[in-house]
């Protein structure tokens, strides 16, 4: 790892941290900026001076994030987490009795649970089952029909790392008159996202993983064509077009931009960390980040297969992401993760369709040595 990068991530010097899918490492420069920011509370007038500067940071972050996913600024809102956005969409789209929604068995609970709750209203939930870790657009084509109201798909599966055929799946949904929402939590940061060319209707992501920020804020994209079609599930003083200036409690005027989905103050500190970390990643270069991440992930995937582990993550380039899931025949994921941690290697134990294994997720701040340490540890443990 180049010295300039390793200086930003001291944890990566202490551990082979292959766990960005759990939480990403926050750059040192971002942390130092936040420390300076907190100092302003001791030396400046909190209202309006500090708050107004926070507001400026929010709008700047909105624009920076929009460029990362190919969106317009007015299509991006800030939420507390991706789960909130997924529930927003379920509430706004509001499928009716006799209609259906389509999800797959590699999706995160925050995307599947809101859909499952619709069954109480007579909405059919159609599950797409993976085939040895793979789900294709053709699988969605068989499940979606003219009664489908909403399709939910993860850009990258949280559990086995399948990189979905999002553009093709969105096309399938639209051809049947359905809307499509993408959970890009495990792809935003190192996978090219273009909501415009994908024609995605909605997208939600999280900041504390591959975007190297803190908990408390996430982004919700709603295509401009749909912004005024749905009423926001919540309204508040930030939902107005003019913001805080000229605010009136007697008349309701809802913003025609994604601000309509922001009822109150967002987590300013988390948004502040986002813009600092995105700035760092932009200077490093997304292509560099992508190349390093996918190269290391391919090493993990191939290395585990060579060791005879059961790998349930597709190895082909089109479906490869930064996540690999594998399990051993004689050790649980908890046992593997615990023993690897003692060797200075950090991964996550996960259960996946009855298999107890580990999820491995390198990022650009890792190097080949981290993967070699992991594979050496796995070889020793599984041959013991």
Distance CA 266, CA 258 (A): 13
Cβ distance 378 to 304 under 8 Å?
Answer: yes
Closest to 186 measured CA to CA, from 149, 161, 169: 161
**43, 26, 17: which is closest to 269 by C-alpha?**
26
Residues 6+ apart with CB under 8 A from 236: 262, 263, 264
Contact 206, 220 (CB under 8 A): no
Q: Is the pTM of this model over 0.85?
A: yes
Closest CA to 129 of 165, 100, 102: 102
Report the alpha-carbon distance of residue 89 to residue 97 in Å, rounded: 17
Look-up of token digits 């991006």: 76
What is the C-alpha to C-alpha distance for residues 199 and 10, in angstroms, rounded to an integer?
Answer: 40
Enumerate domains of the chain plus CATH numbers. Answer: 3-18+285-383 (3.90.1150.10), 36-281 (3.40.640.10)
Q: Is the pLDDT of residue 152 over 60?
A: yes
Read off the pLDDT of residues 48-71 as tens digits, 9 standing for 90 and up.
888 888 989 999 999 999 999 999
Residue 324's pLDDT is what? 98
Tokens of 43: 């030396």
pLDDT tens figures, 320-334:
999 999 999 999 999
Q: Is the pLDDT of residue 1 over 70?
A: no
Strand, helix or coil for residue 311: strand
3-state secondary structure of 88: helix
pLDDT at 2: 59
What is the C-alpha to C-alpha distance for residues 357 and 349, in angstroms, rounded to an integer?
Answer: 6
């Amino acid at each position: 790892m180049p010295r300039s990068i390793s200086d930003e991530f001291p944890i990566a010097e202490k551990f082979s941290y292959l766990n960005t899918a759990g939480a990403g490492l926050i750059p040192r420069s971002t942390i130092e900026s936040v420390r300076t920011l907190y100092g302003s509370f001791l030396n400046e007038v909190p209202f309006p001076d500090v708050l107004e500067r926070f507001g400026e940071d929010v709008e700047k972050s909105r624009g920076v994030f929009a460029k990362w996913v190919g969106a317009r600024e007015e299509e991006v809102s800030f939420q507390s987490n991706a789960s909130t956005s997924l529930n927003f969409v379920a509430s706004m789209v509001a499928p009716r009795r006799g209609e259906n929604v389509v999800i797959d068995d590699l999706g995160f609970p925050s995307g599947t649970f809101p859909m499952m709750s619709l069954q109480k209203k007579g909405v059919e939930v159609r599950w797409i089952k993976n085939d040895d870790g793979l789900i294709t657009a053709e699988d969605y084509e068989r499940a979606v029909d003219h009664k489908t109201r909403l399709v939910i798909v993860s850009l990258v599966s949280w559990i086995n790392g399948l990189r979905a055929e999002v553009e093709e799946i969105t096309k399938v949904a639209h051809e049947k008159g359905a809307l499509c929402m993408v959970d890009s939590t495990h792809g935003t940061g190192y996978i090219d996202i273009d909501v415009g060319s994908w024609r995605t209707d909605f997208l939600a992501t999280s900041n504390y993983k591959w975007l190297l920020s803190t908990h408390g804020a996430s982004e919700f994209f709603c295509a401009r064509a749909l912004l005024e079609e749905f009423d926001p599930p919540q309204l508040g003083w930030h939902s107005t077009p003019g913001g805080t200036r000229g605010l009136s409690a007697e008349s309701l005027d809802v913003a025609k931009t994604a601000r309509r989905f922001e009822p109150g103050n967002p987590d300013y500190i988390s948004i502040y960390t986002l813009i600092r970390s995105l700035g760092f990643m932009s200077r490093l270069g997304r292509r560099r980040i992508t190349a390093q991440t996918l190269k290391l992930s391919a090493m993990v995937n191939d290395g585990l297969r060579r060791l005879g582990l059961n790998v349930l993550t597709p190895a082909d380039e089109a479906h490869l992401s930064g996540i690999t899931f594998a399990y051993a025949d004689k050790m649980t994921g908890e046992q593997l993760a615990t023993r690897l941690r003692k060797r200075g290697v950090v991964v996550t134990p996960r259960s996946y369709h009855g298999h107890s294994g580990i999820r491995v997720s390198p990022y650009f701040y890792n190097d080949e040595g981290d993967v070699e340490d992991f594979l050496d540890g796995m070889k020793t443990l599984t041959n013991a």
